[in-house]
Homo-oligomer: A and B are copies of this chain.
Amino acid sequence: MGWGNFTFRKMGEKVVISLADCFQGYHFLNPVSIDRLEQISEKLNCKRNSVLIRQDKIQKDIYFLASGLARVYYETADRQITLDFVSPGGTLISMNSYVHDTPGYENIDLLEDSIVYKIDQKKLFTLYESDIAIANWGRKMAELEFIKAEQRTMSKLFNTAQERYAELLEKYPQYIQRIKLGYIASYLGVSQVTLSRIRANIL
């Protein structure tokens, strides 16, 4: 998950990341193993507002976002909290579902028309048992996703909402303008009213 590490082209141009680059984003992989992973992948064209993963459904498969934009959020009866925005090259996964075959916590929606690759979990688990390069790639994926999640946690613990908003603006101006303030506010951990106040101070 997370904002991909890929540099953006000119504003307005649509970023498209290849599936192989999504894989290699975690770890070097030899061509044979890449081919094996591609064979258990399926390309999907999804419309804006599609729901990829729902917290009440078992969603074992992994998605790689080739283009578009996604939002990851948790939900209770009365609240919805945005955990992350994911840009092309990023991974969309409900780790709990992927690991335990049970419903996870996260909902994942697409905020834009997107291209995603779906990897069949069952077939991936089979590859883990037979291909040590893929097993280590899968290890690396979990490790790096852990670190990304940890960085988000750290940022939320130690930086003010104002600092984090400024960071977002600087790092991803092209996306922020397309995302509803309510989503951003819940990502920052404040109410939308407070985010409006922050914006009024900054601008």
Contact = CB atoms under 8 A, between A and B. Distances in A.
Interface of A: 74, 76, 79, 81, 83, 95-96, 98-100, 105, 128-130, 132, 135-136, 138-139, 142-147, 149-150, 153-154, 157-158
Contact of A95 (B79, B105, B132, B146): B146
A81 B129 contact: no
Nearest to A100: B147
Majority SS of interface residues in chain A? helix
B158 A81 contact: yes
Contact of A74 (B132, B149, B154): B154
A105 B81 CA distance: 25
Contacts of A74: 154, 157-158
B99 A147 contact: yes
A184 to B, nearest CB: 16
A129 B95 CA distance: 24
Contacts of A139: 128, 135-136, 138-139, 142
A60 to B, nearest CB: 13
> Which 10 A-B residue pairs are closest in the complex by CB-CB distance?
A142-B142, A139-B139, A135-B135, A132-B132, A142-B143, A146-B146, A99-B143, A138-B139, A135-B136, A95-B146
A95 B150 contact: yes
A100 B27 CA distance: 12
A105 B142 contact: no
Contacts of A99: 143-144, 147
B142 A136 contact: no
Give the interface centre of A95, A128, A129, A135 by most chain B CB atoms within 10 Å.
A135
